[in-house]
A and B are shown apart, each in its own frame.
Chain A
Amino acid sequence: MNWQRYINELIVLGAFLLLLGAFFYKNTALNAQANAGSKSKESIAQIQETVALKEIWADKKTSKKLAKIPKLVSASKVKWRKKGKKIEAKFQNLTARELNNIVSKIFNLAVEIKQLKIQKKALLYDMEFKCKW
């Protein structure tokens, strides 16, 4: 049989083909791992960002923190209406210091400000705001 003439070359060829197979196997495994690693990294980043943003914008303590705001001024100056996770508030006759205090407190809370109106009347301020969280 003719192939017997080339038995030595066939041995080397066989070994080379096995090497080639192993090389492609490794290459495929390497690419698969790189892809999986890249996907994992992306997923990790997404989960971490989602968790971080959720911790800020869906903070369960926001409701309690907001409840402290009307107590910053006397009850006669404020009309506070809370409905679920929405608040509509009206403040009247606030001094500049009171206004600053309330605005900074609101803006430091992770709430979605839907509306904010401030109007100066003589030396005092009226303020309206709507928010949800």
Chain B
Amino acid sequence: MGNTKALILVHHAMERVFLSDTVNIMLTAEFYTLKKERIPVKYTYQAKAIAPSLFDGLLEEGQDYEYMVWKEEDEWTFIAYDVAQIATFLESKGFALSQVAKIFFVQQSLALFDGVMPLGEDKALLAIDSVVVLLPLVVLPESQKPSLVFSNRFTPKKGVSLQSTHHSLLSFPQSLTLAILLSVFTMIFAFDAYTLTHLGGEEEEILLQLEEEYPKLISPTRRKSILAKYQKIDKQERQKRDKIKLLSSMIFKGVTLSSLSLEKDTIKASFSCENSKVSQRIKALAKKHHFKSRSISGSHDLIVEGSL
């Protein structure tokens, strides 16, 4: 696919530009430092890793340099460039950085520099010893007349994105790594959520079984009503039986049950006691079990009563 964006050659003597569309730019040698080396590495990332050490002492200190590396036959070409410096220059010449899509370097189009390309009124670009250089026109011999015309055909395949290198807090590989990491967690969460949503719990299975077995109890309202009814009966009847059991425990040697009455809300028993000692013991037991007791005058007999 051909590059449809206009390619602008950028050099110090260029005129100010007024852009309406996004463009690609090609930088002359004024904006970068070039080095060619034969080094025993196989891959570009390996070469890029050692690039800073190759430029030791060649670059200005305190600047933040980026590197571009590619292989030409048996030699590696290294370019060191200062993005901030380039960006500042571009802005001074009227470029909005957001309109600069890709940055290329004239060295990348070495093969196309088979002649002299005029640059402004007094300079020219040409290839000398496989390096594209910028020279004053006056130093060129008469035979080397400017013949090359700069156009989009000089656009190399690979360029540098100014936006991503200058403005981004994260590089593309960093953001990709982070995005992959976050996506892994996203998938884990989504899978967990899917599992939780679509797999019923153990309780639900038990409930379904119970509802199949007792279809009349499916309705919560009906179920609660039935339960309330039986809970009430259960509580009251257990209470009646407990009270009777307690009253029975008061019958021992010297005590006879004279009468017992169990009505809706009360339970009452009258005991005939042999002597006052037995009577006192019944009273104590009645008190212990929260019954009221009263003596029948003129005897040791007692009436013990309680509420239900």
Q: Which residues of A contact B244 (CB under 8 A)?
A: 103, 107
Q: Which residues of B contact A12 (CB under 8 A)?
A: 170, 175, 178-179, 182
B201 vs chain A, min Cβ distance (A): 5
Q: Of B104-112, B137-145, B192-200, B286-294, which binds chain A?
A: B192-200
Verify A37–B203 contact, CB threshold 8 A.
yes
Q: Which residues of A contact B167 (CB under 8 A)?
A: 5-6
**Cα–Cα distance between A23 and B163 once the two chains are bound (Å):** 32
**Does A118 lie at the interface of the complex (its beta carbon under 8 Å from any beta carbon of B)?**
yes
Q: Which of A7, A8, A29, A110 contacts B196 (CB 8 A)?
A: A29
B25 vs chain A, min Cβ distance (A): 15
**Does A49 lie at the interface of the complex (its beta carbon under 8 Å from any beta carbon of B)?**
yes
**Cα–Cα distance between A118 and B248 once the two chains are bound (Å):** 13
Q: Which of B206, B231, B264 contacts A114 (CB 8 A)?
A: B264
Given A12-B179, A29-B196, A50-B217; A19-B169 close (CB under 8 Å): no
Given A1-B98, A29-B193; A7-B230 close (CB under 8 Å): no
A18 vs chain B, min Cβ distance (A): 5
Q: Which residues of A contact B180 (CB under 8 A)?
A: 15
Q: Which residues of A contact B163 (CB under 8 A)?
A: 4-7
Verify A53–B230 contact, CB threshold 8 A.
yes
**Does A115 lie at the interface of the complex (its beta carbon under 8 Å from any beta carbon of B)?**
yes
Verify B227–A33 contact, CB threshold 8 A.
no
Verify B171–A112 contact, CB threshold 8 A.
no
Q: Which residues of B contact A74 (CB under 8 A)?
A: none
A91 vs chain B, min Cβ distance (A): 13
**Does B19 lie at the interface of the complex (its beta carbon under 8 Å from any beta carbon of A)?**
no
Verify A15–B223 contact, CB threshold 8 A.
no
Verify A9–B175 contact, CB threshold 8 A.
yes
Verify A5–B189 contact, CB threshold 8 A.
no
Q: Which residues of A contact B206 (CB under 8 A)?
A: 40, 44
**Cα–Cα distance between A1 and B18 once the two chains are bound (Å):** 16
A120 vs chain B, min Cβ distance (A): 5
Q: Which residues of A contact B231 (CB under 8 A)?
A: 49, 53
Q: Which of A4, A26, A118 contacts B260 (CB 8 A)?
A: A118
Q: Which of A2, A9, A58 contacts B168 (CB 8 A)?
A: A9
**Cα–Cα distance between A20 and B133 once the two chains are bound (Å):** 53
Verify B98–A113 contact, CB threshold 8 A.
no
Verify A26–B190 contact, CB threshold 8 A.
yes
Interfacial residues of chain B within 150-183, with CB under 8 A of chain A in the complex: 163-164, 167-172, 174-176, 178-180, 182-183
Verify A43–B220 contact, CB threshold 8 A.
yes
Verify B237–A8 contact, CB threshold 8 A.
no
Where the two chains meet, the residues of B that have a C-beta atom closer than 8 Å to any C-beta of A are 97-98, 163-164, 167-172, 174-176, 178-180, 182-183, 185-187, 189-190, 192-194, 196-197, 201, 203-204, 206-207, 210-211, 214, 217, 220, 223-224, 226-227, 230-231, 233-234, 236-237, 240-241, 244, 256-264
Closest 5 interchain pairs by CB?
A53-B230, A22-B189, A40-B203, A8-B175, A15-B182
Where the two chains meet, the residues of A that have a C-beta atom closer than 8 Å to any C-beta of B are 1-2, 4-9, 11-12, 14-16, 18-19, 21-23, 25-26, 28-30, 32-33, 36-37, 40-41, 43-44, 46-51, 53-54, 56-58, 103, 107, 110-120
6 A-B pairs besides A46-B224, A50-B223 with CB distance below 8 A are: A5-B98, A6-B167, A12-B179, A15-B182, A50-B227, A57-B234
Q: List 30 A-B contacts (CB under 8 A).
A: A1-B98, A8-B171, A11-B179, A15-B182, A15-B186, A19-B182, A19-B186, A22-B187, A22-B193, A26-B190, A29-B196, A36-B204, A37-B203, A40-B201, A40-B206, A44-B206, A44-B207, A47-B211, A47-B214, A50-B226, A50-B227, A53-B233, A54-B230, A56-B230, A58-B230, A107-B241, A110-B237, A112-B237, A117-B259, A117-B260
